[in-house]
Structure 1
Amino acid sequence: MTDTTKGFAAMIAACCVWGLSPIFYKLLSHVPAAEVLAHRTLWSLAFFAIVLTVQGRLGAIRSAMAGPRAFGLLLFAAIVIATNWFLFIWAVQTGQATEAALGYYIFPLVSVLLGRLVFGERLSRVQQFAVALVTVAVSLLTYGLGTAPWLALALATSFGLYGLAKKRLAVGPVVSVTAEVLLLSPLAVIVLWQTGNNGAGAFGASLQDSALLILAGPITATPLILFSYAARRLSMATTGLLSYLNPTLQFFCAVVLFQEPFTGWHVQAFALIWCALALYSVSTFRQDKARRKALRAASASATTVT
């Protein structure tokens, strides 16, 4: 099996875990989202700590947090990813998994827009048109439902901001996420301590709930490790295209398994967003192909000169 095939398989596996995770969190609908998030944070920390210990990289966490700039970026990343996790758990628990899927469909184009605003990255005409289509879709949904899809926009924006923070960090994803959950752990401990004092804690109340809460750690950590593995072996275009499997599976869970309402306004909005994503994907694929062609030509030229 080639490295590319392994990367492809790892990316598919990561997206399947992410995309089918609504089923997992639906099983914990009776547990408050803040409590689920607290357990997700602490058990993720435990899982990542074990992984880094086995790899002999536990000391990398301290190095990653060295200096006010790195610490500040990690703290910001921790806040926005905690917000994203909480909103996703809450969305699934309250019957809004469809809007959560919408948020993750919108995310790539929000990311493009943030890149333009923050880093001054240029958008091609196709990408500009794709962003415009998403704007129309959101406006259409807002008009049809009488309210903006704030949850979807919040999920897309928080994940987009998380991506910006990650772009500025000089450490790998596993080390950085371990540092992030480490920073969040005091708050998680406070939440669980207060919940336990009120006699309402789910952990220990039943074997099933306890097992599910512990599993929140591996379910958070495993796809991230798989994604990191895949990203080193696949092109950005391939990674981006495969990532759409995540919201597609979330959408399947919401509409087919959970039977959430899917109105005509949703159909129109999702159709526009899918068109936008198709255009964006084709544009990204062409840019990636042109970049690799230019690199090969530069390499061949350098070899000839040598």
Structure 2
Amino acid sequence: MNKGIVYGILCYLMWGLLPLYWRLFESMSAWEILAHRVLWSFVFVAVLAAAAKRWRNMLSVVSSRNSLISVLLCSVTISLNWVLFIWAVNHEHVIETSLGYYMNPLISVLFAVIFLKEKLSRGQWISILIAACGVLLMALQFGGIPWIALSLAVSFALYGLAKKMANLDVLLGLLWETLIVLPLAIMYLGYMQAGGSGTFFTLTPFSMTMLLLSGAATALPLFLFASAAKLLPLSMVGFIQYVAPTTSLLLAVFVFHESFTAGKLVSFSLIWLALILYSAVTFRSSKLARREKKAA
């Protein structure tokens, strides 16, 4: 449990800081950045798999129909999530991306209850209700349906659900996720370069190097997320996720200077109150369970 919590916090902190990273490539389209992200993520994970001598186990990951479907779902949902996030960050919608990732834990908990039959205590349900009020208040301030936020929330909740249900090997699961969409990424980059619209070779040496490192920036938090998802209940993984949108929200206000109204502050406070309550109730339940197990 403790190891899973550490993995989750590190993962979401890294994701929360990603807007700073993707702002380095504002001159590139979101689809071109996604294609490079897929390509260099595959290269990075492939090197790790080779170093660990795990390539020979690749086929065992998708040996069953269910595992193959889970890997396909993971690959598609995380790719859609990536491109939407990159587009939103580079079009000054960082606050809306943070809203999406504030909404995601609620959807993750809902999926956990419906599909994985996880049971929640009364205190956990109360914390979810408080968080839902905060998210609803934040959504109302947008004056309409926040499609970017909703799409980010649902796509990542589906990715987390698929990860939890598949229970795949962490390293090889990530390798398959990037491998499935790799041919599309390579064809797209080739098409752009042949048509003269590719921007990779127009970047400065620093930006080019940072884009090559996008594989590590992508794979490391995914690796930590997959490890956390294997060690923790999906509902707890969802609530730890509030670290990421809070970090992004702080970046949006203090670094990118997007507007932050009093209403958004109230929403922010409600969500963190829910997180504190949920964490306290969950840790108390976990401590009691360990005591009972030890006594038995």
TM-score, normalisation: structure 2: 0.88
User: Which of 101, 105, 123 in structure 1 is aligned with 2:102?
Assistant: 105
CA separation in 1, counterparts of 2:202 and 2:18?
23
After TM superposition, list the pairs within 5 Å mapping 1:123-202 onto structure 2: 123-202=120-199
Is the alpha carbon distance of 1:107 and 1:221 closer, same or farther for their aligned partners in structure 2, counting shifts above 3 Å?
same
User: Which of 35, 39, 44 in structure 2 is aligned with 1:42?
Assistant: 39
Is the alpha carbon distance of 1:76 and 1:12 closer, same or farther for their aligned partners in structure 2, counting shifts above 3 Å?
closer
CA separation in 2, counterparts of 1:170 and 1:161?
14
Unaligned runs of 5+ in 2: none
Offset at residue 256 of structure 1 (A): 0.7
CA separation in 2, counterparts of 1:106 and 1:163?
14
Check whether the contact 2:100–2:152 (CA below 8 A) recurs between aligned residues. Answer: yes
Question: Which 10-residue stretch deviates more, 250-259 or 224-233?
Answer: 224-233
**1:20 corresponding residue in structure 2:** 17
Check whether the contact 1:111–1:160 (CA below 8 A) recurs between aligned residues. Answer: yes
* Matched-pair identity in %: 38
User: Which of 279, 285, 289 in structure 2 is aligned with 1:291?
Assistant: 289
Question: Residue type matched to 1:27 in 2?
Answer: L
**2:117 corresponding residue in structure 1:** 120
Offset at residue 173 of structure 1 (A): 2.0
Question: Residue type matched to 2:254 in 1?
Answer: V
Offset at residue 237 of structure 1 (A): 10
CA separation in 2, counterparts of 1:163 and 1:19?
17
Question: Residue type matched to 2:37 in 1?
Answer: R
User: Which of 46, 53, 75 in structure 2 is aligned with 1:56?
Assistant: 53
User: Which of 216, 221, 224 in structure 1 is aligned with 2:222?
Assistant: 224
Unaligned runs of 5+ in 1: 299-306
CA separation in 2, counterparts of 1:80 and 1:128?
27
Check whether the contact 1:61–1:175 (CA below 8 A) recurs between aligned residues. Answer: yes
Cα deviations by residue, 1:81-113 (Å, 9 ceiling, x for unpaired): 111111211121111112222222332232111
CA separation in 1, counterparts of 2:231 and 2:128?
29
CA separation in 2, counterparts of 1:167 and 1:86?
23
TM-score, normalisation: structure 1: 0.85
Matched, 1:31 2:34: no
Instruction: Report the number of matched residues.
Output: 295
CA separation in 2, counterparts of 1:161 and 1:235?
15
**2:258 corresponding residue in structure 1:** 260
CA separation in 2, counterparts of 1:27 and 1:196?
20
CA separation in 2, counterparts of 1:9 and 1:274?
19
Offset at residue 67 of structure 1 (A): 2.8
Is the alpha carbon distance of 1:281 and 1:10 closer, same or farther for their aligned partners in structure 2, counting shifts above 3 Å?
closer
Check whether the contact 2:41–2:219 (CA below 8 A) recurs between aligned residues. Answer: yes
Check whether the contact 2:61–2:67 (CA below 8 A) recurs between aligned residues. Answer: yes
Offset at residue 263 of structure 1 (A): 2.1
**2:270 corresponding residue in structure 1:** 272
Question: Which 10-residue stretch deviates more, 135-144 or 52-61?
Answer: 135-144
Offset at residue 183 of structure 1 (A): 0.5
Is the alpha carbon distance of 1:221 and 1:143 closer, same or farther for their aligned partners in structure 2, counting shifts above 3 Å?
closer
